[in-house]
Structure 1
Amino acid sequence: MRRRRMLLFPAGAAVVMSIVAATAFTGGYRLNLTPSEPLGLWRIEELERPVAIGDLVFLCPPTTAVFAEAWRRGYLRRGLCAGGFAPLIKTVAALAGQRVDITDHVLVDGRLVPASSVWRTDGEGRAINPDPGGVVPPHHLFLHSRFASSYDSRYFGPVPDSGLLGLARPVFTFNP
């Protein structure tokens, strides 16, 4: 009898934790474990207006060879977006119709994007091919993160706005 109670406690705790996790997930809560934005608990907030420059957003990356390679290299986490990727948390730096120039930094319509140095190799010494830039196509967003080695549109280019999940709002976060 005592052994049975000892087994029921961890099983019950696992069930309760699963219910809490499922409820949080359906409520739009996500755990960020990448350094691009502060670590911790975030919430996806419905966007009730057109997306704007400066918005911090959650976005599911498209299922393309570029993102498959990024996952293989460890730049992306596994998650519940199409293709098995986790959503990205990034700032919108340019909208459709804006010109993006990428050299050693990023310029949007001729204005320097702060903290936008472009790397040519990753931390493992592997070559990174920056996106060539150009005009952001219709229904696409150019995303940026101020974190120096963040994987963002500097490297993968504009992404379809159809992957936009909503605004990213910190709930309980910290910078390591």
Structure 2
Amino acid sequence: MTGAATRRSITKQQRRAIVVLSMAAVAAILLVVTAVAGGYRINLTPSEPLGLWRIAPLYRPAAIDDLVFICPPETAAMRAARARGYLRSGSCPGSVAPLIKTVIAVAGQHVEIGVSLSVDGRGVSSSSLALRDGKGRPLTPFPSSIVPPGYVFLHSAFPGSYDSRYFGPVPISGILGLAQEVFTYVP
């Protein structure tokens, strides 16, 4: 093979590699866009099992024990949470990712926040409050209250979870749907 022929064959190989890599990149992008449009999300937080989840339509009002995907409201508490790194980047208003939390109280129920939570006088398991976050910064619990109409109170049993214990009830208008595990694991 002459020097010119070697240069041409390398160029052909490079072109093939570029075409293959470009096609793989386009396929990966299409896969991600299709998955997101189809309601699939990857959970990388310890509040719920890590892995692939699906947002299933919720054709009824949210109820106690529903595990939901919800966009947090754009409030001062959520902006502070974002600044502290509690919320990941995502597609919800405020450029945050949806949360996966369990509904533990609905409109009209009384939530008492002390050393732990109670709803209408019944204790909530795994709900003790933390006074400081993982970096030693103070956490302020939300005051006890009655959940207002159009709102839900959210909880996660994970000890370090940032949930309604700290940011209060959230509007049901932010609920994207039920959270269904597709392929998850607990490390």
Question: Could you say whether these structures have the same fold, taking a TM-score greater than 0.5 normalized by the shorter chain as the test?
Answer: yes
RMSD: 0.6
- In structure 2, the gaps of 5 or more residues are 1-11
Matched to 1:82, the amino acid is: P
**Alpha-carbon distance in structure 2 between the residues aligned to 1:115 and 1:17:** 39
1:151 aligns with 2:150: no
Within a 5 Å distance, the mapping from 1:137-176 to structure 2 comes to 137-176=148-187
Q: Match for 1:110 among 109, 121, 126?
A: 121
Compute the displacement of 1:14 (Å).
Answer: 0.7
Matched to 1:121, the amino acid is: R
Deviations 1:124-161 (A, max 9, x none): 11000010121001100000001011000000000011
Matched to 1:68, the amino acid is: R
Within a 5 Å distance, the mapping from 1:1-176 to structure 2 comes to 1-176=12-187
Segments of 4+ in structure 1 off by > 4 A? Answer: none
**Alpha-carbon distance in structure 2 between the residues aligned to 1:35 and 1:8:** 39
**Alpha-carbon distance in structure 2 between the residues aligned to 1:150 and 1:51:** 21
Highest Rg: 1 or 2?
A: 2
TM normalised by structure 1 equals 0.98
TM normalised by structure 2 equals 0.93
**Alpha-carbon distance in structure 1 between the residues aligned to 2:172 and 2:61:** 11
**Alpha-carbon distance in structure 1 between the residues aligned to 2:117 and 2:165:** 7
**Alpha-carbon distance in structure 1 between the residues aligned to 2:54 and 2:14:** 40
**Alpha-carbon distance in structure 2 between the residues aligned to 1:161 and 1:123:** 29
**Alpha-carbon distance in structure 2 between the residues aligned to 1:10 and 1:71:** 35
**Alpha-carbon distance in structure 2 between the residues aligned to 1:49 and 1:136:** 19
Compute the displacement of 1:58 (Å).
Answer: 0.3
Over the matched positions of the two proteins, sequence identity in percent amounts to 58
Bigger Cα displacement from structure 2, 117-126 vs 4-13: 4-13
Compute the displacement of 1:49 (Å).
Answer: 1.6
Compute the displacement of 1:50 (Å).
Answer: 1.7
- In structure 1, the gaps of 5 or more residues are none
Matched to 1:5, the amino acid is: R
